[in-house]
Amino acid sequence: MRKLLNTVYITNENAYLSLDGENMVCRLDDDEKFRIPFDYVEAVVCFSYLGVSPALMGKCAEKCIPISFLSPHGKFLAKVAGETRGNVFLRIAQIDRFRAEALTLTQNTVAAKLTNAVGTLARSKHDNPALRNDEDIIQVTQSLKKSVDAVYTSKSQEEILGIEGNAAKTYFSVFGKLFNAEDFTFVYRSKRPPLDPINAVLSFVYTLYTNEYAAALETVGLDSYIGFYHTLRSGRSSLACDLVEETRCLAERFTITLFNLHILNPSDFEKQVSGAVLLNSDGRKKVLTRWQEKKRTDMTHPYLNQKIQFGLLPYVQSNLLAKYVRGDLEEYPCFLMK
């Protein structure tokens, strides 16, 4: 089992990473803030415009430590990774399998996503007795279950895409009821840009999780840019976007917890002239700190029936997908939240 190491998050816009021997060094205004041996680093996520030194990028590439560059507000910009050392035959099998089984994989993935959405609503109803008899949530739950059935009678990915879009709109129509924080409201899902704090955190955490899936896929030898559902596009990790769909529920539960436990407050956000609402530096630090803590908690994997650390889930799912591609498994077991 892969050891869960540290993901280094650089949140200060003026920070600069450089190489010193076998250490990663962070400097701010010529002052050294910290140094970390590479043996304790799993990945780097950089929200700094100053970036990193070429020598450090080379060292990270050599050690297969991916560096993801995001804007200070969480928009994905680019990723630096080392030479692909995966099994070329596995990647050929990946393309062949995805071409042959794209519809089945898409059906299972979207069905898992919608089933997990039902689970998220059920979990919130369990935690908040006031929601247990809410008619809107009951109707949405029933609608999502019907959408799962419709997915499996669909004859094309385009048809499934339409079902998924309508189901997501229905799900998010009651999503705001899952929050009990008086200072925040959620009306509908807005992405580019997020128009309220809850949407800002959702988009931020989705981005973090997608990057982690991309790194995990590369680790097991799969090409994260060749997916089976999301449209192939240069520079986009389509397969990571595919796999993260089934675990969006975890990002959503994490977001609900941040607000309902009052970990985030209005001062953690800033509103742009365009109307976009984004996490500020303090808000990002809070989210990242809690996300790192969450990654170190234990969970029982529903397919393996074994305890794993939450942060290892992308690696477990990626490994299961690789086994499916190689023919070791007859079907890829999507993640289903218990």
- Domain presence at residue 193: yes
- Domain presence at residue 93: yes
Q: Residues 159-182: what's their mean pLDDT?
A: 92
pLDDT confidence of 219, banded at 50, 70, 90?
Answer: confident
Report the C-alpha gap between 150 and 16 in whole angstroms: 50
- Domain presence at residue 332: no
Report the C-alpha gap between 252 and 206 in whole angstroms: 9
Owning domain of residue 153: 88-326
Question: At residue 4, does pLDDT exceed 60?
Answer: no
Question: At residue 56, does pLDDT exceed 50?
Answer: yes
200 in Cβ contact with 190 (< 8 Å): no
pLDDT confidence of 264, banded at 50, 70, 90?
Answer: very high
- Domain presence at residue 335: no
Q: Which of 23-32, 125-134, 170-179 has the highest mean pLDDT?
A: 170-179
- Domain presence at residue 338: no
Instruction: Note whether 138 and 278 are same-domain residues.
Output: yes
Instruction: Note whether 282 and 173 are same-domain residues.
Output: yes
pLDDT confidence of 41, banded at 50, 70, 90?
Answer: confident
Residue 120 CB-half CA count within 13 A: 29
Cis peptide before 302 (omega within 30 of 0): no
Q: Where are the beta strands (DSSP E) in the chain?
A: 6-10, 15-20, 23-28, 31-37, 41-46, 67-70, 76-80, 269-271, 277-279, 298-300, 307-309
Q: Looking at residue 62, what is its pLDDT?
A: 86
Report the C-alpha gap between 26 and 35 in whole angstroms: 6
- Domain presence at residue 331: no
pLDDT confidence of 222, banded at 50, 70, 90?
Answer: confident
213 in Cβ contact with 246 (< 8 Å): no
pTM value is 0.80
- Domain presence at residue 274: yes
Last residue of a domain, one of 25, 60, 80: 80
Q: Which amino acid is at 247?
A: T
Instruction: Note whether 176 and 281 are same-domain residues.
Output: yes
Neighbour count for residue 162 (Cβ, 10 Å): 13
Burial of 65 (0-12, 13-18, 19+ CB in 10 A): buried
Report the C-alpha gap between 265 and 259 in whole angstroms: 8
Question: At residue 238, does pLDDT exceed 80?
Answer: yes
Question: At residue 1, does pLDDT exceed 60?
Answer: no
Instruction: Note whether 55 and 185 are same-domain residues.
Output: no
Instruction: Note whether 51 and 96 are same-domain residues.
Output: no
Instruction: Note whether 94 and 64 are same-domain residues.
Output: no
Question: At residue 6, does pLDDT exceed 80?
Answer: no
Question: At residue 265, does pLDDT exceed 70?
Answer: yes
Report the C-alpha gap between 97 and 91 in whole angstroms: 10
The chain-wide mean pLDDT, for the chain, equals: 87
Buried b (16+ CB within 10 A) or exposed e, 170-207: bbbbbbebbbbbeebebeebbeebbbbbbbbbbbbbbb
Q: What is the 3-state secondary structure (H, E, C) of 210-237?
A: HHHHHHHHHHHCCCCCCCCCCCCCCCCC
Last residue of a domain, one of 35, 54, 80: 80
Mapped onto helix, strand or coil, the DSSP state of residue 321 is helix
The CATH number for 241's domain is 1.20.120.920
Q: Looking at residue 95, what is its pLDDT?
A: 92
Q: Residues 259-264: what's their mean pLDDT?
A: 93
Instruction: Note whether 115 and 196 are same-domain residues.
Output: yes
Instruction: Note whether 75 and 166 are same-domain residues.
Output: no
Instruction: Note whether 69 and 172 are same-domain residues.
Output: no
- Domain presence at residue 318: yes
Instruction: Specify the higher pLDDT residue, 298 or 5.
Output: 298
Last residue of a domain, one of 29, 55, 80: 80
For CA atoms 233, 238, 241, 245, give the dihedral sign. positive
70-104, pLDDT tens digit by residue? 776 556 677 777 765 556 788 899 999 999 999 99
Instruction: Note whether 66 and 94 are same-domain residues.
Output: no
How far is CA 91 from each of CA 23, 102, 250, rounded to the nearest angstrom?
33, 15, 28
Closest alpha carbon to 336 in 138, 146, 119: 119
How far is CA 154 from each of CA 68, 141, 163, 218, rounded to the nearest angstrom?
36, 20, 9, 31
The CATH number for 20's domain is 3.100.10.20
Report the C-alpha gap between 286 and 255 in whole angstroms: 12
Domains held by the chain: number: 2
Question: At residue 185, does pLDDT exceed 50?
Answer: yes
For CA atoms 143, 147, 149, 150, give the dihedral sign. positive
Helices (H) and strands (E) in the chain, counts: 9, 11
Instruction: Note whether 40 and 176 are same-domain residues.
Output: no
Cβ contacts of 237 within 8 Å, gap of 6 or more: 79, 210, 213, 214, 217, 224, 225
Q: Looking at residue 306, what is its pLDDT?
A: 87
CA angle 35, 36, 42 (to 5 degrees): 145
Neighbour count for residue 160 (Cβ, 10 Å): 22
Instruction: Specify the higher pLDDT residue, 15 or 333.
Output: 333
Which of the residue ranges 45-54, 160-169, 301-310 would you say has the lowest mean pLDDT?
45-54
Report the C-alpha gap between 158 and 151 in whole angstroms: 11
Instruction: Note whether 168 and 59 are same-domain residues.
Output: no
